Amino acid sequence: MISSVTKSARLLVLCAASLLPSLMQAQTDWPTLGATPGNSHSSSLHQIDRSNVARLKVAWTFDTHEPGGLETTPIVIDGILYGLTPTQKVFALDAATGEQKWTFDSTVKATGPSRGLTWWGEGNEHRLLVGIANFLYALDPVTGKAISGFGHTGRIDLRKGLGPDPARVSIALTSPGVLYKDLIIVGGRLPETLPAPPGDIRAFDVRTGSLRWSFHTIPHPGEPGYETWPPDAWKTAGAANNWAGMTVDTERGIVYVPTGSAVPDFYGGARLGDNLYANTLLALDASTGHLLWHFQGVHHDLWDRDFPSAPILVTVRRNGKSIPAVAQSTKQGVLYVFDRVTGKPLFPIEERPAAPSSTPGETAAKTQPHPIAPEPFAPQTVTEQTLTNRTSETHAWAVNRLHELRNEGQFVPLSVGRDTLVSPSFEGGAEWGGPAADPETGILYINANSYASLGALAVYHGDFAGRRTYLTQCSVCHGDRRQGSPPEFPSLLGITQRLTHDQIANTIHTGRGRMPAFPLEGKPLDDLLTYLDTSPDIPSKETGEEQAGTSTGITEPAQYTMTGYRRFNDPDGYPATAAPWGSLNALDLGTGKYLWKIPLGQYPELAAQGLPDTGSENYGGPIVTAGGLLFIAATNFDHKIRAFDKTTGKLLWEHTLPFAGNATPITYSVKGRQYIVIAAGGSSMNPRGPTSGIYVAFALP
């Protein structure tokens, strides 16, 4: 606890800060996940610059002593750093020393990602708004105590209002809410399969927690877009949710909301139509939630192509004019740029014919949008020429394997009985770290994954209940035969010999890492656990597979399930496409041309064999500073944080972290000293190594 003297001093400072928010915050703080409401990921600090960055040293570390990984970008307000532990305890530190001031333990069991927090201040009122699992908490930033006037004893339950029985709703606030005046606007992570609640975008009063507006991403009767779904979809469909965060143009009062796909992700027979406003960039009036304009990036998505990060506000300079714009990166590896006010694309977007689906009951969209510029930042096609060259054997293996695959470019619906190659992979392309934009130059920096995935559908009939639940809700990650896809998705074969039914039920109820919580109870849960007891190799006639209407008496139509996320990897476990497998790209938005492009990340064992430029899978974004630097960690296997010259892409400094920094770094200054901080705990997107929960700060000696 801090003394009451320092406490009132702190209040005075906080008041001063809120009187001069732009001055104080622009100069020294990192007040929101993306640095600014527009998510610029930029700072005007320049004490650390090209000439001295090589001398950066660790200033302090803060170990939460919890395993589990971190995807958190902390915030700094007036010398205090606020962050989260892997189990979503909230803490405040002295940002200059790393000394802990308070910690808040909600006692809610939470293990998934929580990517940040929101600080709100007006006059002498201040609060921290934090998503912990399915709750939104309001905390006093000085004491770390829940503010009782907010919702019910300091928190609201985001499950309420999303279905008849809140206990049956799965939602987690993995990205922090955004502010507009006295509103906190939130989405949430929802399941990838049915049942899932609708992805309503909701604005709550920051003081009381009461609901002020709600936008239906699955339109109700009479709302525009309703005609892009079957008539009852607003009651039966789910998701089309915002899990990736949002961006606010505070001057214009517009909130930009990117949404993900409707569920189930890979078979849309029960949601025929374009499915507005799934996979859509929404521009909403931030005061009312009214739709101003929208752009759908994938019609009737069958590839889990969620918009993966909050968009970024930029100013595009063209023919001597400055155009306020919003840029949205995608898992497909393309970037869309729009006029912020009108939604008019700044680079033409073509609707091109797309492949039909061969799966009964499915109708793929006839066309899909393609921006003709800028050039994609991740490979759109895979040919023999773009397969791995790591060794001649792996190349030959990959050529053979490629011939077995459906490999026809973007937007080819998955089919039964044959794998389809999806490039870039289901993990993108771009991911949740989001880009950085340099206000001095208008250059946009995007990191990307650059390898391919495989996907297929399997048919099943309405056979016995436990297996049905498994195939509809679990197989997308754990595989249709429970084989998983280690290390990303564990196998569940023999799981009931390793874990008790209670332990498994517990994991199902709380979720874990990338696995959302499933509110399964009673008989459906018991049936699922019984199914997990069985061997997956029981002959199909005993399970009723392919035997519908005969042995089981079930006459339901066939259902289709995704057989599980898989990588197009070589037999040694490296991507079977050509390196680089991860990249960092500097794009001039005025011309749509790349200034530079470099591999990002290494596999230490391959670097040791003379292959340092492979790039690697990476999660977490870059930040750009007035010191001429671009800082990024993100890489899964080398655990490094790096600083590049933002003009040339030249590596100027690197440091090996205790665990991978799968998060976006921040920079701020306290008493004239500039710091860089990164959460270095690994993450659930990076399951190969042990995880932890350490924050590391750097400064000049």
When the beta carbons of 139 and 528 are compared against ligand HEC, the nearer one is 528
Among 92, 132, 446, 474, binds ligand HEC (CB under 6 A): 474
Q: How many CA atoms lie within 13 A of 432 on its CB side?
A: 24
Close Cβ partners of 168 (under 8 Å, ≥ 6 residues apart): 195, 519
Of 551, 586, 372, 345, the C-alpha closest to 461 is 551
Answer for which of 401, 478, 567, 640 binds ligand HEC (CB under 6 A) is 478
* Least distance CB 561 / ligand HEC (angstroms): 11
Contact region with ligand HEC (CB under 6 A), list: 6-14, 198-206, 489-497, 666-674: 489-497
Question: Site for ligand HEC (CB under 6 A): which residue of 160, 216, 501, 514?
Answer: 514
Please report whether residue 524 would count as binding ligand HEC according to CB under 6 A: no
The structure tokens listed for 133 are: 């699992």
Of the pair 228, 473, the CB lying nearest ligand HEC is at 473
Judged by CB under 6 A, the residue of 128, 139, 278, 515 near ligand HEC is 515
What number of other Cβ atoms are within 10 A of residue 297's Cβ? 24
Number of residues that bind ligand HEC (CB under 6 A): 20
- Residue 70 as a binder of ligand HEC (CB under 6 A): the answer is no
Q: Which of 397, 434, 378, 420 is nearest to 620 (CA)?
A: 434
Comparison of 53 and 477: residue with beta carbon closer to ligand HEC: 477
Q: Is 496 in the site for ligand HEC (CB under 6 A)?
A: no
Q: Is 477 in the site for ligand HEC (CB under 6 A)?
A: yes
Amino acid at 229: W
Shortest distance in whole angstroms from residue 473 CB to ligand HEC: 4
Tokens of 109: 């069991």
Closest CA to 662 of 379, 425, 447, 476: 447
Shortest reach from residue 518's CB to ligand HEC, in Å: 4
Interaction of residue 80 with ligand HEC, rule CB under 6 A: no
Closest CA to 83 of 118, 48, 109, 107: 118
698 contacts 52 by C-beta, under 8 angstroms: no
Q: Which is nearer to ligand HEC, 337 or 476 (CB)?
A: 476
Tokens of 41: 């990921």
Instruction: Please identify, using beta-carbon distances, which residue of 294 and 514 lies nearer to ligand HEC.
Output: 514
Q: Which of 52, 214, 507, 591 binds ligand HEC (CB under 6 A)?
A: 507
Alpha-carbon span 455 to 279, nearest angstrom: 20
Binding ligand HEC (rule: CB under 6 A), the pick from 387, 495, 562, 666 is 495
Nearer to ligand HEC, 481 or 514 (CB): 514
Report yes or no: 532 and 445 within 8 Å, Cβ to Cβ. no
Instruction: Give the residue closest to ligand HEC by C-beta.
Output: 513
Contact of 427 with 684, CB cutoff 8 Å: no
Contacting ligand HEC (CB under 6 A), which of 109, 160, 168, 512? 512
Piece of the chain touching ligand HEC by CB under 6 A; list 30-38, 93-101, 301-309, 506-514: 506-514
Rounded CA-CA distance 212/204 in Å is 5
Pairwise CA distance, residues 537 & 549, whole Å:
21
Q: How far is residue 679's CA from residue 470's CA, in Å, rounded to a whole number?
A: 35
Using CB under 6 A as the criterion, what x/- string covers residues 26-65 for binding ligand HEC? ----------------------------------------
> Residue 528 or 670: which CB sits closer to ligand HEC?
528
**Residue 631 contacts residue 622 (beta carbons within 8 Å):** yes
- Which one of 140-148, 365-373, 509-517, 584-592 is the stretch in contact with ligand HEC (CB under 6 A)? 509-517
Minimum distance between the CB of residue 331 and ligand HEC, rounded to whole angstroms? 15
Q: Which of residues 525-544 bind ligand HEC (CB under 6 A)?
A: 528
CA 466 to CA 526: how far, in whole Å?
Answer: 8
The encoded tokens of residue 277 equal 């406003």
Give yes or no for residue 684 binding ligand HEC (CB under 6 A): yes
For ligand HEC, give the closer residue by CB, 80 or 169: 169
Stretch that binds ligand HEC, among 166-174, 392-400, 485-493, 651-659 (CB under 6 A): 485-493
Which of 504, 586, 663, 670 touches ligand HEC by CB under 6 A? 504
CA angle (123, 129, 134) in 5-degree steps: 155
Pick the closer one to ligand HEC by CB: 93 or 495.
495
**Of 99-107, 228-236, 249-257, 507-515: span binding ligand HEC (CB under 6 A):** 507-515
Alpha-carbon gap, residue 660 to 680, rounded angstroms: 5
Contact window for ligand HEC (CB under 6 A) among 115-123, 124-132, 513-521, 579-587: 513-521
Measured from the CB atom, is 192 or 545 closer to ligand HEC? 192
Q: Which of 423, 447, 449, 473 binds ligand HEC (CB under 6 A)?
A: 473
Q: Is 696 in the site for ligand HEC (CB under 6 A)?
A: no
CA dist 587 and 592 (Å) reads: 7
Contacts within 8 Å (CB) and 24+ apart, 398-405:
398/570, 398/576, 398/577, 401/568, 401/576, 405/454, 405/568
Which of 518, 560, 581, 675 touches ligand HEC by CB under 6 A? 518
Residue from 508, 629, 676, 696 in contact with ligand HEC (CB under 6 A): 508
- The contact mask relative to ligand HEC for 176-195 (x = CB under 6 A, - = no) is ----------------x---
The C-alpha atoms of residue 316 and residue 336 are separated, in whole angstroms, by 13
Binding segment (CB under 6 A) for ligand HEC, from list 337-345, 468-476, 547-555, 692-700: 468-476
Return all residues near 565 (Cβ < 8 A) that are at least 6 apart.
Answer: 426, 453, 455, 476, 477, 485, 488, 489
- The torsion angle over the Cα atoms of residues 536, 537, 542 and 548, rounded to 10 degrees, is 70
317 vs 326: CA distance, rounded Å: 13
Q: Which amino acid is at 15?
A: C
Residue 495 or 678: the one with the smaller Cβ distance to ligand HEC is 495
Structure tokens at 395: 């190349």
302-341 binders of ligand HEC (CB under 6 A): none
The dihedral through the CA atoms of 260, 232, 455, 190 has a sign that is positive
Stretch that binds ligand HEC, among 37-45, 140-148, 358-366, 475-483 (CB under 6 A): 475-483
- The footprint of ligand HEC on residues 271-290 (CB under 6 A) is none
Q: Is 444 in the site for ligand HEC (CB under 6 A)?
A: no
Query: 523 vs 39, 469, 473, 506, 520, CA distance in Å?
Result: 46, 11, 15, 16, 9
In angstroms, the CA 663 to CA 489 distance is 21
Cis omega before residue 668 (within 30°)? no
Nearer to ligand HEC, 267 or 338 (CB): 267
Q: Which of 379, 433, 513, 622 binds ligand HEC (CB under 6 A)?
A: 513
Q: Please report, as ranges, the residues that interact with ligand HEC according to CB under 6 A.
A: 192, 473-474, 476-478, 489-490, 492, 495, 504, 507-508, 512-515, 518, 528, 684
